[in-house]
Structure 1
């Protein structure tokens, strides 16, 4: 036994007790790894002052050499624990390129005792960290009990609990055996413990995932394109795995900027796991964190934190996707590995222009298409072999041909040329095949080529919801109604809350002369969003064919 001063610090609703290595929130203990606790203690004791990264690492990992990523991961975990990871930080402030500062007011509380007795106890909780292969038994305090005090026991009195010399020996022997047993378990079954966030994986089978829009913590709307770009990039990479169902961008976009319940979202989207991400950009520095949650029971499956330069964004996304694949224990074929790791350009500026172009394209407005074209063209000027940027051009021109401001004869040939340029550079790009198929169908009326290109797109990326959607509309136009319905429902499974996909299932039912089913589907879509004009317009057409003219007029008024 030895004596140790119990220093107590209070900040916000939290209380930090050094002797117990305990963090309390409104009186309730919060679990922290020992190194996370040490990191918090150093920051709190230096409250209001900058703690350089090197100094912080020396004080927390005094006898070991570790990478800076370990420190960043601890800070990320602390912010999550302190609920300090949404928007402007209230507790731990990052000083770019230098370190961290604890910015909340801290009050040091005098302990009731000048010293407390320290007794080593074994905790039945195993926590592992990247730099540690085993954990020493935690030090817990045992307060001195004044004579005559009444002590509440946590269980029934037993012979072993009586304080006699003989029983003390028996108790110490039992505790020693328990410590040895726990250490044996920790060594014998390391796969039970997630040794660190980067190599963590789940033993549960995950066959479907939704990547929710990354939360932009920078408080700068101009950087929204970054968070959306990272989200879409991860969706595209993971969708290359044929055995994994990935929810499309349209369905996850509705959760942007919202606090979500993973289990509720999982039920709404029909997936087993949810990826929740956060992004913060300051100057040329980028901080990204991701957490994979089992939507079936809300358990944490994997998480990591990354700090890179903004110019390293594309390689970082590849690393993040690979880490997720490892956590999900995905077995990738050789072709899938190649497509999974594709970056398409080595030019960092061109890549940022590309994701900015996709951000504007997703707005589906004339102004958005124009800005998207400008961004894609700039990206191509920086990298003439950037295949994905050519697909962006084709998609923008395709939308502009349908909004009424541009003649199809002016923009569709440009769209086709861009799609062909993309395929000349990379024949395995599913999006390029889908874009070319859409042009073959709607502009060239080359039905055979359209069918071939749609099938090739789906073969390359079975999770590409847009390809299934467009192919369903093509099949409907060809009168292949059963195939069209099967295909649109595959698109809905990948994009379960997409208003346009649901609306077009109603349209396919209408073309198949299943009018009552079409009405039911379109009414259900309108219930999701009463302001979605396209659904009202198509429902009006169904009412007309049914001779329900009063209802048809009412629906036309709502378009």
Structure 2
């Protein structure tokens, strides 16, 4: 297989070394680089020509692009660049790429692998003449990848310190200092690491080199903290640390200054009295007290490294996947349902709503992994062991809280707990007016971010501090709407709609309420409460209004992506909206799921399964998400893997009708007809199921010769469509199973005429009676689906 190397330059390599010739021309390497960075998505031909040949007219630029694609396919293989409608995508299965590998390693927590792949700045020394748009893109992409690389180095250094690997800690900080030699914060960490490793002279020498470099390059003086730390190292005698210091009680209050993060925030004081080796995170903070005279940044690094000598047992830990997983786990958190301590049990919606909003706020921090609502709420009202909850949700930290609302006053008590041993990291009580609920949420979120030592960008900090509404009444109405919305039923959506509308009446500027409205309208189109046209217009208007009020609202982008896909049939706009939603909130499970729905429609099955797996990882106790993942695996011919997730959906909720329908499809795929019929009938008996189990059963009955039963069910479906005027496209599969090809095509055409939102999700028929009919191909073209 050929390789595309973009770090440290740009080249194509084969088994015999670098490739030359037409494929290695500058514009063609640029094309591959653009597609590699767009992975797992793609880029339209218009976008590519704008980057590559901005000075050419459209026809000429498109011709050059076609030539470039042809040359690359000829040299590297036909599958190297995939086409989907007007979009091109790189196929990493046909061409290895270091940038794609780098991003994948970071996403999987393989920090050492990612660092190994980064062999220099992205496209270092590379340029494209007369292409200013490409140069701007290149600058941004190069900076993004460099930041990801330095962040990975820092996380490896932190992990090595926690693990007790002093040489590893020094090495990672040294590599980071080489990458960012002017950064005084990095220099402080490196100096502290060298001192902890017994190389005080090396630490002082690093300070000298840092000062000389700043003077030489910028004529600037070094950071006073760097020089102060170097001066202390020169003057203080070297004291060999003793393990005896860790024994017995060690009462200490951590000064807030020693815990200050890079952005200047500082958590309140924390008191701990360990009788046994405490968790690494608490111990590191406790030790900061012993070095309080050091500057704040140096204290953090130095105390973290001294921990391995004083408190940690001797180990022979090695860097690698276990370490990276431990770091990732420590930044994975679940917000357990807040207990309602109010006198009125009807206030339950408020405590549930506060929990859900805390989950949403934390999920916007890219450095954290936040368990989703369904899984967290599975433990509501249960007295379960903290360790068991942590293992079930695959998180290292839990937030517990209680809420008491009396009149206009709200009292919230919260405590952050280490899931591995049950130790409390901190607790806090807030008592505020109802108007200050958002201030409580913001403060809790910031304290959690600091406690987990997660990186917080300025944009994330600003979003956390943002107040969605200034009206307590509108907020309470919105929370009631969310309460009913989470029931995921026709009646629940109806009640949610009512409360969202009332919230907007009180505060017309409430963006989240408009986004909630958009979501309900979209679901009413699926359930047949609204016609396709009504659902389309209302969904679009509400989503756009939400984004007009808050341009960074992930929920609104997700619904807008659904509108573009299901109603407007605009694939490019749908993908942009879905990806923007996940940029803003990477842990938004609905965002992952709706994006996966879009990818499935575009027959990008592998990418869809990745999104569905991510959603299940974030929300492992959601029957819906397990069902969707199982269905996706079944659709690509992996029934054994699908079975585990489909069974899990029913085990999580035996009354979940779609889960039983999923099992029916599994039984069909594996030839167990009687079991499939029973599973379909069970699904139909349950409340709040869509029309799909009925069309699935009717189609199966027709295929196995029970045609009278199938026709009877078809008659009911047709009568329902005539009564409501809504022609669900999957009824066409029943007609096809009854050998009525003309009827199936006519039904699909009626669905098309009303732009039924499910048309884009129905999947391409493999039945040759349809697949080979040019009328069906034309329908797929008009809908915008792969043909």
TM-score, scaled to structure 2: 0.46
Task: Choose which of 378, 403, 411 in structure 2 pairs with 1:287.
Answer: 411
Matched, 1:371 2:495: yes
Secondary structure of 1:479 counterpart: coil
Q: Match for residue 454 of structure 2?
A: 330
Counterpart mapping for 1:476-495 below 5 A: 476-495=600-619
Matched, 1:468 2:581: no
Q: Match for residue 536 of structure 1?
A: 660
Counterpart mapping for 1:237-386 below 5 A: 237-386=361-510
Instruction: Point out where structure 1 has 5 or more consecutive residues left out of the alignment.
Output: 1-122, 136-184, 192-200
Cα distance in 2, alignment partners of residues 262 and 395 from structure 1: 34
**Displacement, 1:527?**
2.8
Q: Match for residue 60 of structure 1?
A: none
Task: Choose which of 434, 438, 441 in structure 1 pairs with 2:565.
Answer: 441
Query: For the Cα contact (< 8 Å) 1:269–1:496, is it kept in 2?
Result: yes
Secondary structure of 2:455 counterpart: coil
Cα distance in 1, alignment partners of residues 435 and 334 from structure 2: 27
Cα distance in 1, alignment partners of residues 588 and 519 from structure 2: 15
Counterpart mapping for 1:191-230 below 5 A: 206-230=330-354
Counterpart mapping for 1:85-164 below 5 A: 124=249, 126=251, 128=253
Query: For the Cα contact (< 8 Å) 1:237–1:341, is it kept in 2?
Result: no
Task: Choose which of 235, 239, 264 in structure 1 pairs with 2:359.
Answer: 235
Q: Match for residue 540 of structure 2?
A: 416
Q: Match for residue 556 of structure 1?
A: 680
Cα distance in 2, alignment partners of residues 348 and 285 from structure 1: 11
Query: For the Cα contact (< 8 Å) 1:311–1:349, is it kept in 2?
Result: no
Query: For the Cα contact (< 8 Å) 2:255–2:289, is it kept in 1?
Result: no
Question: Deviation per CA, 1:376-406, whole angstroms, max 9, x where unpaired?
Answer: 2222222222211110101111222223333
Distance 1:186 1:397, change over 3 A: closer
Cα distance in 2, alignment partners of residues 395 and 508 from structure 1: 23
Q: Match for residue 497 of structure 1?
A: 621
Secondary structure of 1:331 counterpart: coil
RMSD of equivalent CA atoms: 2.8
| Count of aligned pairs between the two proteins | 379
Query: For the Cα contact (< 8 Å) 1:394–1:418, is it kept in 2?
Result: yes
In the TM superposition, structure 1's runs of 4+ consecutive aligned residues that sit over 4 Å from their partners are: 127-135, 201-205
Cα distance in 1, alignment partners of residues 529 and 461 from structure 2: 42
Secondary structure of 1:303 counterpart: strand
**Displacement, 1:212?**
0.7
Distance 1:519 1:305, change over 3 A: same
Instruction: Point out where structure 2 has 5 or more consecutive residues left out of the alignment.
Output: 1-247, 257-267, 272-286, 294-302, 308-325, 684-787
Query: For the Cα contact (< 8 Å) 1:476–1:511, is it kept in 2?
Result: no
Structure with higher strand content: 1
Cα distance in 2, alignment partners of residues 339 and 250 from structure 1: 24
**Displacement, 1:127?**
6.2
Distance 1:513 1:124, change over 3 A: closer
Structure with higher helix content: 2
**Displacement, 1:317?**
1.7
Q: Match for residue 527 of structure 1?
A: 651
Higher relative contact order (CA 8 A, sep 6+): 1
**Displacement, 1:441?**
1.9
**Displacement, 1:189?**
4.8
**Displacement, 1:129?**
10
**Displacement, 1:414?**
0.6
Q: Match for residue 405 of structure 1?
A: 529
Question: Deviation per CA, 1:444-475, whole angstroms, max 9, x where unpaired?
Answer: 32222211111111111111111111111221
Secondary structure of 2:427 counterpart: strand
Distance 1:133 1:548, change over 3 A: closer
Question: Deviation per CA, 1:405-452, whole angstroms, max 9, x where unpaired?
Answer: 333332332111100111122221111110111122222322222111
Q: Match for residue 50 of structure 1?
A: none
Distance 1:431 1:133, change over 3 A: closer
Query: For the Cα contact (< 8 Å) 2:503–2:513, is it kept in 1?
Result: yes
Question: Deviation per CA, 1:491-550, whole angstroms, max 9, x where unpaired?
Answer: 111111111111001111122122333233312332333322111112212322433211
Distance 1:543 1:445, change over 3 A: farther
Cα distance in 1, alignment partners of residues 552 and 579 from structure 2: 13
Query: For the Cα contact (< 8 Å) 1:314–1:351, is it kept in 2?
Result: no
**Displacement, 1:213?**
0.7
Distance 1:187 1:542, change over 3 A: closer
